Amino acid sequence: MAETTKKRVLCIEDEAEMIDLIRLILGRSGFDVKGAAGGREGLELVRKEKPDLVLLDLMMPDMDGWEVYQQMKADEATRDIPVIVVTAKAQNIDKVLGLHIAKVDDYIAKPFSPQELLASIDTVLGKKNA
């Protein structure tokens, strides 16, 4: 069964190069990727676009990723959108806390390989469609 519509991914990330990299990796796999250069812009786009998935950086200058995440989950219109947290802080305690307390769908640490990113997205979107 072929999907006619591309899955839409919103990448909320304050580094333009990282958005470009993710767009390149996911574009090759048939995703439609939009980027937001910070938390506030990202939250607006989530509400407007209702993407299939959000890739969320935690460390951003204007509004950090946890704030974006909490606001998404507090809003009925966006609370069911899966979120994969992308962060440079690769400490295991963060991973455990993030996944269990905040209930994020998955977590990848920078730097990550294209395979890791795609595997995480497949897992999360697969769970949603299961």
Give me the domains of the chain, ranges plus CATH numbers: 8-129 (3.40.50.2300)
The two three-digit tokens of residue 118, written as one number: 């795609």
Q: Model confidence at 1, in pLDDT bands (50, 70, 90)?
A: very low
Mean pLDDT (the chain) is 87
**What average pLDDT does range 59-64 have in this prediction?**
87
Q: Tokens 């069911």 map to which residue?
A: 80
Compare 4 and 81 and report the one with higher pLDDT: 81
Residue 125 CB neighbour total at 10 angstroms: 18
Residue among 86, 84, 120 at smallest CA distance from 105: 84
pTM above 0.85, yes or no: yes
Residue 91 has pLDDT above 80, yes or no: no
Which pLDDT does position 103 carry in this prediction?
Answer: 75
| Residue 54 near residue 80, CB atoms below 8 Å | no
Lowest mean pLDDT among 45-49, 63-67, 113-117: 63-67
